[in-house]
Amino acid sequence: MLIARVVGTTISTIKDPKVRGRKLLILRQTNETGEMIGKAYVAVDLVDAGVDDLVLTGHGSSARQTYLTKDCPVDAVVMAVID
């Protein structure tokens, strides 16, 4: 799991049917002080997060273990908003 900041949203007009209807967010990983590091990446939003939210993300096979993403072709999911 990684902590990241939501920096934007994106859309896709053509995608796998298993991912249709899911919101896609653009994220950047943060360090322990909240400073953004690394490259931006896209994750499927499971918790209705918004721009500037600090979120907890799951990656790889863990991203496909949620009820909503079971057997879906996803590599990253937003699974919590950090208060």
CB 25 within 8 A of CB 45: yes
pLDDT tens, residue by residue, 19-75: 888 899 999 999 988 899 989 999 999 999 999 999 999 998 888 888 788 888 899
Residue 4 is predicted with a pLDDT of 96
Distances (CA, A) of 73 to 27, 49, 54, 82: 18, 21, 24, 25
Q: Mean pLDDT over residues 6-11, rounded?
A: 96
Residue 81 is predicted with a pLDDT of 97
Residue 63 is predicted with a pLDDT of 84
CB 57 within 8 A of CB 79: yes
Distances (CA, A) of 81 to 4, 19, 48, 71: 10, 21, 9, 23
